[in-house]
Structure 1
Amino acid sequence: MRSTQPWPKARCFAEGAPKLAWAWRLLGDIQFARGDLPAALQAYEHQQTLQPSPAKRRILGVVRFYVGDGKGALDELQAAQVADPDFLYGLIWLDIVKARQNVPVPPAYPGQAGVTTEWPDPVLAIFSDAFDPALLLKIAKANPSKPGEDHVGEADFYTAEWNGAHARETDAKTGFAKVVQDCPPRFVETLMAKAELNQTSPAAAPAR
C-alpha cells in the first residue's frame, strides 16, 4: 500500500530538488518530528550549505547535541550567536550545551543588579545560577503567552534541562515526560523533550 505519510513525499521532493533549501528544511523538520535525528541532521546540513543563516545553524547545533556531537554543537551554536547576538533563545541553548558538558557558563546579565521577569530572561539566568529554577513556572504563568507560544511548557522544558545539567536525572526525565504529555505535539519543546527522553549519547548526558 502506498504510504500517505508526509515524510516519504518530502524526502522524494527534496532529493528531486537538491538546490531547493526550503524542501530540505521541511525534510529535516519531518525527520526530527519522527525521531530520526541522523536523517534530520543530514537534511539540515544540506539546507545550510544552500542557504546559510544563524537560525539554520542553531538548528544544526541542537541536532548535533542530540546525536552526541557535543563539540560540533558548541561550534555551531557559538557561530550562530556571533552572527545574531541578540537572540536570547540561542544563548539559552548555548548555555544548555555548555552546562551539560561541564563548560563554564558566563553570567547571564553581567553588571546588572538583578534579572527581570520578562520572558525569557529568567530562563537564560537559571543556567548561570543567577536565578532560582523553582520560580520559573510561577513567572511563566504570570507572563501571558502570545499565539504560538507556551511559556508554561517552556518553563517545564528548561527546568528539566537545568535538572539534567545538574545530574538530577530522575527530575529531568519526569520534566521531559510532562512536556511530551502536556505540550502541543508539534511544538519545538515537545520534539526536543522526546529527543531528550531517547538520548543515550555521552555527549548529551548530564554532567558529573
Structure 2
Amino acid sequence: MPTAAAAVAYARKGDYDRAIADYNQVIQLAHQEQGNPGDRQTQIQGQDGDPISASVASESIVLASGDGSPLRARGEAFYAKGDLDRAIADYDEAIRFNPKDKDALGLRANVYKTKGDFGRAIAEYDQLVQLDPRDFRAYRARASAHWQAGSLAKSLADLDEAVRLDPKYAYSALWREIIAKRSNEPSRLAEAVTRLDMTKWPAPIINLFLGTKTPEQVLDAANDPDPNKRKGQVCEAHFYAAELALQRSSREEASRLFDLAAAECPKTFVEKQAADFEINSLRASR
C-alpha cells in the first residue's frame, strides 16, 4: 500500500514520477475511507491529467496531518520535476484549505518567481511577511524577487531585515554581500562572520567572498559522501563562484560557471532559478 513516507523517499531519490503516483494513491485511498464527496466538483489534476476533486484532496489532508502537507508535498514533486502549473494547482488547493499555510504560500511564490512573474511572487511573499513578520525566510525570499524585478534597494532592505532576525543564517549574509556590491554599498560580511558557524557549509563560500579560499578549494570542499548533498553543494559552489566572477568583471568565467550551475542545480534550488536569470541577463547585455 502506498504511503506518504514512501512518496517522500522516492522524491529524495529524484524519482518524482513515482513519488507523484504514490501521493495520488494516498489521496485516493483517503477519499475512499472518507466516503463520497457529493456534488462538489472543484478539480485539480493527478499525475496523468485525471481530475481529482478538491474535496478528495481536503479529506486526505485531514487524515494525513490536518495542515495540507500531502498536497504541498506533491506540489513540491511537480516543482522538482519542472511541471510548474501542476505545482501551482496543488499549492492553490492547499492554501484554499488553509489560507495561513506559510509553507504552501512560500512554495507557490517560489514557483511564480521561477516562471518570471516577479510581481505575483512579491505579492505572495508580502502575505508571508504579514502572516509572520519575524520569519527571516520570507524576507530573504522576497529579496531575491525584488532583485530580479530590478529593485536593489528593496532587496537590500529585505536582506538587512533577514540578517537582523536570524544573524546565524549564512545564506542571508551571503546574499546581502552580493546585493550590497551591486548597490555600491559597503560590505558587512566580515562582521557577519562573527555570528556564523564557520565549521560547516556554506562557510567555504563565505571564505571565497572574503578572499581566503579559491573557487577550486570551494569545489573541493563541496564534495560529500551523500550524493544529494554533494550535488547541492557543487551547484552552490559554481553559482557563487560565478557571482564573484561577475563582481570582478570576468563575464566569460561568470557565464561558464552560471551555465554549470544551471545544468547541475536541482530545479527547486534558489541558485538554479538565479543562475537561469543571470544567464539571460548576460545574454541580453551583449
* TM-score (structure 2 length as normaliser): 0.59
2:278 matches 1:169: no
In the other structure, the counterpart of 2:145 is 63
Any unmatched runs of 5+ in structure 2?
1-43, 50-84
**1:110 to partner: Cα distance:** 8.7
| CA distance 1:192–1:184, change in 2 (3 Å) | same
**1:10 to partner: Cα distance:** 5.2
4+ runs deviating over 4 angstroms: 10-19, 109-112, 143-149
| CA distance 1:11–1:154, change in 2 (3 Å) | closer
2:114 matches 1:33: yes
In the other structure, the counterpart of 1:120 is 202
Distance in 1 separating the partners of 2:120 and 2:99: 18
2:138 matches 1:84: no
2:242 matches 1:160: yes
Contact 2:173 2:189 survives alignment (8 Å): no
2:190 matches 1:190: no
In the other structure, the counterpart of 2:215 is 133
Larger RCO, structures 1/2 (Cα 8 Å, 6+ apart): 1
* TM-score (structure 1 length as normaliser): 0.78
**1:13 to partner: Cα distance:** 4.3
Distance in 1 separating the partners of 2:164 and 2:190: 16
Say which one has the larger Rg: 2
**CA RMSD between the two structures:** 3.2
CA shift digits 1:20-48 (9 cap, x unpaired): 24342232022123232232122111222
| CA distance 1:184–1:11, change in 2 (3 Å) | closer
In the other structure, the counterpart of 1:46 is 127
- 3-state SS of paired residue (1:105): coil
Contact 1:81 1:90 survives alignment (8 Å): yes
Distance in 2 separating the partners of 1:69 and 1:186: 23
In the other structure, the counterpart of 1:9 is 89
- 3-state SS of paired residue (1:108): helix
2:179 matches 1:97: yes
| CA distance 1:132–1:148, change in 2 (3 Å) | closer
